[in-house]
Amino acid sequence: MPSETNTVVALVTVYRPDEGIFESLEAIQRNCPTVIVIDDGSSSDYDLMLDRIEKSVDLLVRQTANSGLAKALNVGIETAIEKYQATHVVTFDQDTQPDDDYLAEALKALDAATVAGMDVALVCAGRNNDWTLQDIEQKLGFNTAVEALQSGFVIPVTTVRRIGNFRSSLFIDCVDIEYMFRARANGMESLVADSARIAHTVGDRIAVKFRGNQVHVLGKRLEFSYHGPLRRYYITRNRLVLFKLYGRQHPAWARKHFLTETKIAFLCLLFGRDRPQQVMAFVAGVIDGARGREGKIPQGLARRLRRSEMQTK
């Protein structure tokens, strides 16, 4: 639980939530007494669900349009500061369930690193599902993250006042990485709370098969994380935007993730579902990323991807 000297507010971003949100909220409320849910413009079809959510949390903020994850987070942060005088916020996606001691472990790590002299921008989960965070560096005897998932970020309000809000023009995907790189550019670190764990959905896992047989590499089953065409567009475009913005400052990261994302993209194109739409989304993402285009996916492209996807079902 948060200490008496901190006012921590949990921010949960949702879009078209299903019944699973209530299990997530219960886990979050076991960590943090104050919870704000920010709905990112779900349609009226979700009114009943959102009414139920509103009754189970301290505050529901409904946005009138789908404006993206970053904008929803920014709205939540501003609300937490203005309405609850938050000193810290902890951010969660709708499909994330933190362990019961998650916030306590994160704040303990934050206190220890601060005492040791580290300028901490945020704290992130050391474990996601059964995986330990990989992109880490050692600073002052603590693990710091190069790249980490936004869900589970514990952010002091002082960080927001110092480096600003999340980059809303990215809409979704890479919002967390850009914030971490911007913090690093301002001399701040993203601290890993090694023992803090979340359970989080990271896309469908698809096994690679050739002629009906499972493919293995070095004795391990070859599989990849699959995202639909709309997400494929944002992932591709926003990674390229970040390569242009931060590639020179983080060349090792850029090389590694250029190869990783290229591999995943081609596995999706070769072995994933909705292959024609995946190709369309990937190519459009490359073009827009190279041009430095940000914001919400163009409406015409989104309609084509959705129409093509519906035609294949």
The DSSP-derived string for 59-113 is EEEE-SS---HHHHHHHHHHHHHHHH--SEEEEEETTEEE-TTHHHHHHHHHHHH
Amino acid letter, residue 179: Y
pLDDT at 273: 78
pLDDT at 135: 84
Q: How many CB atoms lie within 10 A of CB 57?
A: 16
pLDDT at 275: 83
pLDDT digits (tens, 9 = 90+) for 37-92: 999 999 999 999 999 999 999 999 999 999 999 999 999 999 999 999 999 999 99
Mean local confidence (pLDDT), 299-308: 86
Q: How many CB atoms lie within 10 A of CB 58?
A: 16
What angle in degrees, to the nearest 10, is found between the helix axes of 229-246 and 175-185?
10
Mean local confidence (pLDDT), 106-112: 98
Sign of CA dihedral 67, 69, 75, 78: negative
**Structure tokens of 249?**
């400052």
pLDDT at 43: 95
pLDDT digits (tens, 9 = 90+) for 156-193: 999 999 999 999 999 999 999 999 999 999 999 999 99
What is the band of 312 on the pLDDT scale with cuts at 50, 70, 90?
very low
Rg of the chain (C-alpha set):
20
pLDDT at 209: 66
**Structure tokens of 228?**
């639909």
What is the band of 4 on the pLDDT scale with cuts at 50, 70, 90?
low
Residue 305 clears pLDDT 70, i.e. is over it: yes
**Beta-ladder partners of 277:** none
pLDDT digits (tens, 9 = 90+) for 188-246: 999 999 999 999 876 666 666 666 667 666 667 766 677 889 999 999 999 999 999 99
Mean local confidence (pLDDT), 27-34: 97
Cα–Cα distances in angstroms (integers) from residue 302 to residues 233, 264, 269, 275, in the given order? 9, 21, 18, 15
Query: Among the CATH numbers 2.60.40.10, 3.90.550.10, 1.10.238.10, 3.40.50.300, which is that of 8-200?
Result: 3.90.550.10
Report the chain's mean pLDDT, rounded to a whole number: 91
What is the band of 276 on the pLDDT scale with cuts at 50, 70, 90?
confident
More confident residue, 200 or 102: 102
pLDDT at 240: 95
Residue 290 clears pLDDT 90, i.e. is over it: yes
**Beta-ladder partners of 37:** 12, 60
What is the band of 106 on the pLDDT scale with cuts at 50, 70, 90?
very high
Domain ranges of the chain: 8-200, 204-311
